[in-house]
Structure 1
């Protein structure tokens, strides 16, 4: 199971990314855009994810992914169970979510 320290290790040093505490929940932002938010009990995280791929990911791996609450379904967002992913998958998910929020030039510099 991955946890907050693993998430911080991945987000550390990402350009324009920063951590905030909002209503006792840890969130990671680029500017004002939240790309990752932990649940209050830190067992799940919501993360930026392409809407057009969300249903396929949930259908393929329902033990890992689940739908966001109805009010958040209009956003590019998916929920992830932290006990169902490893550090490599966490890194991939976080980098993809972060990349959705930064300019192409910034993304290209980090992802090369």
Structure 2
């Protein structure tokens, strides 16, 4: 599957209280004002929230799909190569998981 930035955008914006902004020369997505996704590298990858322990396991297990940007080593973020995603379900799961980590409790409890 070759995932595009537009497909990421559609999934992200389908989630409650999500807005898109353009910051740091790239599209960024926030839920209730909290950042949960960016589309760097000319929209060929996405950066999403991911607990550090989980992130490190993902990178070890699938280094062609996941990696850590040097400036994000100390933060709970992981990069995902869009062209390496298996299908739309995987895209939706990754984006939704990142959204849940940033969303206010009242939004995640109502799902």
Q: What's the TM-score, normalizing by structure 1?
A: 0.87
Q: For 1:50-89, what per-residue CA distance to the aligned partner results, in whole angstroms no more than 9, with x for missing partners?
A: 11111111111111001122x3222210011000002111
Distance 2:24 2:76 in 1: 22
Q: What secondary structure does 2:35 align onto?
A: strand
In the alignment, structure 1 segments of 5+ residues that lack a partner are none
Distance 1:97 1:67 in 2: 15
The offset of 1:37, in angstroms, is: 0.6
In the alignment, structure 2 segments of 5+ residues that lack a partner are none
Q: Are the aligned partners of 2:5 and 2:44 in contact in 1 as well (CA < 8 Å)?
A: no
Name 1:93's counterpart in structure 2: 94
Residue 22 (1) aligns with residue 23 (2): yes
Name 1:80's counterpart in structure 2: 80
Q: What's the TM-score, normalizing by structure 2?
A: 0.88
**Larger mean Cα displacement after TM superposition, 75-84 or 27-36:** 27-36
The offset of 1:105, in angstroms, is: 2.8
Number of aligned residue pairs: give it. 109
The offset of 1:3, in angstroms, is: 1.0
Q: Are the aligned partners of 1:24 and 1:40 in contact in 2 as well (CA < 8 Å)?
A: no
**Larger mean Cα displacement after TM superposition, 26-35 or 50-59:** 26-35
Distance 2:25 2:59 in 1: 27
Q: CA RMSD in A?
A: 1.5
* Gap change, CA 1:12 and 1:66, over 3 Å in 2: same
